[in-house]
Chains A and B, each alone.
Chain A
Amino acid sequence: MGNEKKQSKLKRIVAKRGMGQVITVTFGLVGLIIVFSFLNPFFLTSRNISNLLRQIAPTLLTGIGQSFVLITGNIDLSIGSVVGMSCMISATLMTKGVVPWVAVLITYLASLLMGLLNGKLISKAKLPAFIATLGTMTIARGIAQIVNNNYNTDSIGEAAEGFQQFFYYGKTLGLYNTIWITLVIWLIFNFLLSRTRTGRHLYAVGSNLHAAHLSGVNISSTITKAYLVSAFCATTVGLITTATSGMGTMDAGNGYELYAVAASVIGGVSTLGGQGILLGTVVGASIWGVLQNGLQFAGAPVAIRNIVIGIIVIITVLMDIFVRSNKRIGKAKTSADGNSSPALKHKL
């Protein structure tokens, strides 16, 4: 009986939409780890694993934000610039003597405003997400530059040591705090996405906007929530960046939006909206991190690393399109305009 229950629970987990791709890419991840551990025995040491996890954290955090946005059928190109903006705002405030935790709060508020702006431009002003976030990407980068008169900041100083320990250097239970922060944020947002009404509304908006509207879903609020999550995650990465370098750099976060898209898509979040789970984003970000780390250990030049990673992203997106189009044909065959399920068939 208990065994049956376990089996049915396992079946339910596997049957969950998007889990198929997560399982596939997990095999890929395991394969990569095995290959890199053969290429370099240092790869699987506890020290490297700990560093690897810390390296993965920013990609995973931005990936979580981007996954929320992609699930609603939109995209957030401003993530990288928001990382840079929050890095500069927090560092500038701290160098001006503001208490680090107040600086953190102000940084979060400023970045969430950017998320709010994104959400409203897309849901209320009906701007295409690509254009709206392209605009805010430039605005946020401009703010990052202007906030300290076009200069990187000086060191945030000893007063911010606690801040640096909390976000980057400190350890809890043997793991870096960055990893713990990422884990907590992932757990919260995974719960929000999979277990709450808001999560269902996010999927509904990405799957069929019109039907979601007719079902009473507040489209504007739902899309805005996704962008707020994205801005929150980007800000956290910005703060980690500040804590890491101990200063604010204007070009922090450059290109992060694309890493975030890659992590999400590799993990099975569809760029067409309505599909994906955050477990996939973990695997996607891990693949990204393992490739970076492993190729570095293998002595591959940066250019080769970029080419390999780019090819993997394209292959993954192609797989997504292939699987989706096959499903569509399957649907046409079996359902849509098709077939009765065995459950109903005997009633007809």
Chain B
Amino acid sequence: MKEEILRVENVIRKINGITYLNNITFQIFKGEIMGLLPLDNHGKSQLIELIIQNVPVHFGRVYFDDQLVNYYEHSSMTRNRVYLIDKETNLIQDLKVADNICVLNHTFSDYIIHEKKLQRVAAGLFQQLGIELDTDQYVSELSLLEKTIVELVRAVLNGAQLIILNELSNFLSIEELAFFQRLLRYYTQKGISFLYIANHHEEAFQICHRVMLFEKGKIIKIIAEKDFSDEILQPYILSFGRHQVTNGQHNQTGVLKCQDLWTENLKGLSFSAKKGECITILDMNNRGIQDIAAIINGFRQPESGRIVVGGKEISLAPGRNLFLDGVAYIPENPVQESLFFDISYLENLTFMLERKLKRSIIPRRVLWGIKEEYRPLVGDEIEAEDLWGLEMRSLYNLVYLRLLFYKPKVVFIMQPFSHADMYLRRRIIELINMVKAKGIAVIILAVSISDTLSITDRLLIMEDGKLVSSGQRLADLPAYVANQPQ
């Protein structure tokens, strides 16, 4: 009989009257990779918190390693031997790998540090995995994959019996993910269990032993490995379909030309985009797209190459904001990184209006006009005094409506579907389609295909900073890309 590491029984968790976990029941066995497929994000972070720490629950029981650790009458707030790995690393960037693994560890008891000894221990742990990693390096010098591996090794050394992996495909490229999944299989043989949270069933089906569907704080289905198929999920998931390329788009004039861009991670990148065209640049190694973003944001100047927007070459001097040249950028977490929560919805929408109108004082009638123009699209939220309390969908609306308002010639979007649940992903697709319909060229920078094929007119695949292939049809793509979740 299989041993359980975690059993959650009929747990109801309410916070401020809102039910985040609604009668949740499931168990995870030792050495098992359990998938979690959240159809929406309601209750997801509360579930993660419940597993990590014995927080108060309204009803139900939680058993960890056969011990009752949390129940409705008593929640001790203690932490279980659970480790969370996601993009926000829990490593100390300014310390070395060996320090992170050995010293910042509950089991480390030496007071005096012997660096060589630490490095020997840490290097030994990586050697067991067949990985050569310089443990004398500072964590800040590592790639995201390396950081993720260090976190995994550290978690195991810290005695974690269950490791939660939160949306790995948001920050690991296709190749990196495949490599990391091999490590997960290795550790399952050692009895370590994983809760693998993924946004796409194809990704979860590749690695998990079972998969739970999670919606509105409830587990609506648990699927065993033998039943893994697209058909079984049909009743539960939205199908976005694949976008068909229209010939009309290709008759449009080119609005963006990137010519022979060279940086440390871009090796002569050249491509062009037409008005209203959507291009996805899929970075197989997770290298070049960060350089593209850095150039667009003025953080980095290319060694050579030029960008032409609307027939005019734009300056790529460091510190220059290309927004004024008609190039917009939407970061990976646009809500956190591009909105101002303490000012009103309308002020957010019209934030750069004075630049657009080239006047320092905006008459109230202009603002009133804008408000009424956007009211049908936004609804009464246009009256919101601040952004606190607005739903994620409304905040994403604001991010993309700003584009419609300012009408840049081209927009670069970094991983648009990152952290978005299924319903939000559908809304993002609608919003990007609205942007395209306005004639704005859309360049999506991605490490996984995710849902981008639903809106992409052309897919450019980048490997080691070079564009290696492109295609409009899935059949045109290399197998390792075509097999990824869509």
- Which of B286-294, B333-341, B424-432 forms contacts with chain A? B286-294
| A334 touching B143 in the complex, CB below 8 Å, given contacts A211-B91, A215-B92, A339-B286 | yes
Interface residues of B in 180-222 (CB under 8 A from A): none
- Which of B105-113, B379-387, B435-443 forms contacts with chain A? B105-113
By a CB distance below 8 angstroms, the chain A residues around B293 are: 332
Q: Does any Cβ of A come within 8 Å of B90's Cβ?
A: yes
The answer on a CB contact under 8 Å between A197 and B133 is no
| A343 touching B133 in the complex, CB below 8 Å, given contacts A215-B105, A333-B294 | yes
Instruction: Bits for A180-206, please: 1 = Cβ < 8 Å to B, else 0.
Output: 000000000000000111111001101
Contact residues on B (Cβ < 8 Å of other chain), bracket: 35 or more
By a CB distance below 8 angstroms, the chain B residues around A198 are: 111
By a CB distance below 8 angstroms, the chain B residues around A337 are: 144, 171, 286, 290
When chains A and B are docked, how far (Å) is the Cα of A329 from the Cα of B133?
23
By a CB distance below 8 angstroms, the chain B residues around A348 are: 175-176, 178-179
By a CB distance below 8 angstroms, the chain A residues around B421 are: none
Q: Does any Cβ of B come within 8 Å of A331's Cβ?
A: yes
Interface residues of B in 90-108 (CB under 8 A from A): 90-95, 99-100, 103-106, 108
Chain B: CB-nearest residue to A195: B113
| A347 touching B104 in the complex, CB below 8 Å, given contacts A208-B93, A339-B265, A341-B142 | no
By a CB distance below 8 angstroms, the chain B residues around A327 are: 140
Q: Does any Cβ of A come within 8 Å of B134's Cβ?
A: yes
Q: Does any Cβ of B come within 8 Å of A275's Cβ?
A: yes
Q: Does any Cβ of B come within 8 Å of A216's Cβ?
A: yes
By a CB distance below 8 angstroms, the chain A residues around B400 are: none
When chains A and B are docked, how far (Å) is the Cα of A1 from the Cα of B256?
57
Q: Does any Cβ of A come within 8 Å of B138's Cβ?
A: yes
When chains A and B are docked, how far (Å) is the Cα of A222 from the Cα of B118?
22
The answer on a CB contact under 8 Å between B138 and A17 is yes
By a CB distance below 8 angstroms, the chain B residues around A197 are: 103, 108, 110-113
By a CB distance below 8 angstroms, the chain B residues around A207 are: 92-95
Shortest distance between the CB of A335 and any CB in chain B (Å): 5
Q: Give the contacting residue for B132; candidates A195, A210, A344; CB below 8 A.
A: A344
When chains A and B are docked, how far (Å) is the Cα of A341 from the Cα of B175?
14
Q: Does any Cβ of B come within 8 Å of A12's Cβ?
A: yes
Q: Does any Cβ of B come within 8 Å of A301's Cβ?
A: no
Chain A: CB-nearest residue to B110: A197
When chains A and B are docked, how far (Å) is the Cα of A333 from the Cα of B179?
21
Shortest distance between the CB of A68 and any CB in chain B (Å): 15
Q: Does any Cβ of A come within 8 Å of B390's Cβ?
A: no
| A196 touching B112 in the complex, CB below 8 Å, given contacts A333-B265, A339-B287 | yes
When chains A and B are docked, how far (Å) is the Cα of A204 from the Cα of B102?
13
By a CB distance below 8 angstroms, the chain B residues around A306 are: none
Q: Give the contacting residue for A332; candidates B90, B105, B130, B290; CB below 8 A.
A: B290
Q: Does any Cβ of B come within 8 Å of A283's Cβ?
A: no
When chains A and B are docked, how far (Å) is the Cα of A206 from the Cα of B178?
34
The answer on a CB contact under 8 Å between A332 and B299 is yes
When chains A and B are docked, how far (Å) is the Cα of A200 from the Cα of B101?
12
Q: Does any Cβ of A come within 8 Å of B486's Cβ?
A: no
| A208 touching B300 in the complex, CB below 8 Å, given contacts A196-B111, A216-B106 | no
When chains A and B are docked, how far (Å) is the Cα of A341 from the Cα of B150?
13
Chain A: CB-nearest residue to B87: A337
The answer on a CB contact under 8 Å between B104 and A341 is no
Interface residues of A in 44-91 (CB under 8 A from B): none
When chains A and B are docked, how far (Å) is the Cα of A333 from the Cα of B265?
7
By a CB distance below 8 angstroms, the chain B residues around A341 are: 133-134, 137, 142-143, 146
Q: Which of A15, A212, A214, A333 has the most CB of B within 10 A?
A: A333
The answer on a CB contact under 8 Å between A339 and B285 is yes
Q: Does any Cβ of A come within 8 Å of B141's Cβ?
A: yes
By a CB distance below 8 angstroms, the chain B residues around A195 are: 112-113
Q: Does any Cβ of A come within 8 Å of B131's Cβ?
A: yes
Interface residues of B in 62-120 (CB under 8 A from A): 89-95, 99-100, 103-106, 108, 110-113
Chain A: CB-nearest residue to B263: A333
When chains A and B are docked, how far (Å) is the Cα of A211 from the Cα of B132?
25
Interface residues of B in 122-137 (CB under 8 A from A): 130-134, 136-137
Q: Does any Cβ of A come within 8 Å of B481's Cβ?
A: no
Q: Give the contacting residue for A215; candidates B104, B131, B286; CB below 8 A.
A: B104
Q: Which of A198, A206, A211 has the most CB of B within 10 A?
A: A211
Chain A: CB-nearest residue to B103: A200
Q: Which of A333, A338, A343 has the most CB of B within 10 A?
A: A338
The answer on a CB contact under 8 Å between B141 and A335 is yes
Shortest distance between the CB of B369 and any CB in chain A (Å): 40
Chain B: CB-nearest residue to A335: B143
Q: Give the contacting residue for A214; candidates B90, B108, B149, B179; CB below 8 A.
A: B90
When chains A and B are docked, how far (Å) is the Cα of A329 from the Cα of B300?
7
The answer on a CB contact under 8 Å between A343 and B134 is yes
Shortest distance between the CB of A79 and any CB in chain B (Å): 24
Q: Does any Cβ of B come within 8 Å of A319's Cβ?
A: no
Q: Does any Cβ of A come within 8 Å of B264's Cβ?
A: yes
Q: Does any Cβ of A come within 8 Å of B145's Cβ?
A: yes
The answer on a CB contact under 8 Å between A338 and B265 is yes
Shortest distance between the CB of A28 and any CB in chain B (Å): 24
Q: Does any Cβ of B come within 8 Å of A228's Cβ?
A: no
When chains A and B are docked, how far (Å) is the Cα of A338 from the Cα of B171?
9
Chain B: CB-nearest residue to A217: B104
When chains A and B are docked, how far (Å) is the Cα of A199 from the Cα of B95?
11
By a CB distance below 8 angstroms, the chain B residues around A210 are: 90
Shortest distance between the CB of B72 and any CB in chain A (Å): 27
The answer on a CB contact under 8 Å between A204 and B287 is no
By a CB distance below 8 angstroms, the chain B residues around A339 are: 143, 265, 285-287
When chains A and B are docked, how far (Å) is the Cα of A175 from the Cα of B134?
43
Shortest distance between the CB of A88 and any CB in chain B (Å): 36
By a CB distance below 8 angstroms, the chain A residues around B92 are: 203-204, 207-208, 211-212, 215, 274
When chains A and B are docked, how far (Å) is the Cα of A343 from the Cα of B179?
14
Give 27 pairs: A residue, B residue, CB < 8 Å, sorted on A: A17-B138, A196-B112, A197-B112, A203-B92, A204-B94, A207-B94, A207-B95, A208-B92, A215-B100, A215-B104, A216-B106, A329-B299, A331-B140, A333-B291, A335-B140, A335-B141, A335-B144, A336-B290, A337-B171, A338-B265, A338-B287, A340-B286, A341-B134, A343-B133, A344-B131, A344-B149, A347-B131
20 more contacts with CB within 8 A, not counting A203-B95, A336-B290, are A17-B94, A196-B111, A199-B113, A206-B94, A207-B94, A210-B90, A216-B105, A275-B94, A332-B294, A333-B264, A334-B287, A335-B142, A337-B290, A340-B143, A341-B137, A341-B142, A343-B131, A343-B133, A344-B143, A347-B179
| B binding-site residues for A, Cβ under 8 Å | 89-95, 99-100, 103-106, 108, 110-113, 130-134, 136-138, 140-147, 149, 171, 175-176, 178-179, 263-265, 285-287, 290-291, 293-294, 299-300
By Cβ-Cβ distance, the 4 closest A-B pairs, closest first, are A215-B104, A274-B94, A207-B94, A343-B132
| A binding-site residues for B, Cβ under 8 Å | 12, 15, 17, 195-200, 203-204, 206-208, 210-212, 214-217, 274-275, 327, 329, 331-341, 343-344, 347-348
